[in-house]
Amino acid sequence: MSRRPVILLGEVHDNVAQHAVRAEALRLLLARGARPAIAFEQFDRERQGDVDRARIDVLPPGVTRVDHLIQRAGGARGWDWNLYRQFLELALEYDLPIVAANLSRPEAMGIAQQGFGAFNAQLRENYGLDRLPAEFLAAHERAVDHGHCELMPPEILPSLARAQ
């Protein structure tokens, strides 16, 4: 893993054991000198400035840096932060970039409804969205379907996969 430019560590959101394994893998990488950026789907992309400012803000009395970051960046809704706190703590301890990686609800809806054309041309170019091979898109659709226990109606899978 240490030689890969990007590592996606997906998870089952409420699987405590899986989070522990992922955290240990990250600790081992850090001990070996890796200094990756960590992208969090828990923070919407437009909140990146809040994430960055939370790292340097003067903390209110009795508030931890992690709690302040979560609150300032609007990340508290719907997530069990007891499972993700360890990753933020490691990112702060090792001064790793914390990337707000989630599409906001309006962005995700735009992608689901309009495809990647909902993004501006520069963003599509930066992410290579106009050049994604059909095989990749089909495999991603299957993975999203599997990740949702094959419970999603087939007609919404292309839109759901694009948004994810």
d(CA 140, CA 147): 10
How confident is the prediction along the chain (164 residues), in pLDDT tens digits per residue? 667 666 666 666 678 888 899 999 999 999 999 999 999 989 999 999 999 999 999 999 999 999 999 999 988 678 888 889 999 999 999 999 999 988 888 888 888 888 888 888 988 898 888 888 889 888 888 888 888 888 888 888 888 888 77
Torsion sign across C-alpha atoms 117, 123, 127, 131: positive
Structure tokens at 137: 């898109």
Q: How many CB atoms lie within 10 A of CB 138?
A: 12
| The model's pTM | 0.79
d(CA 111, CA 100): 18
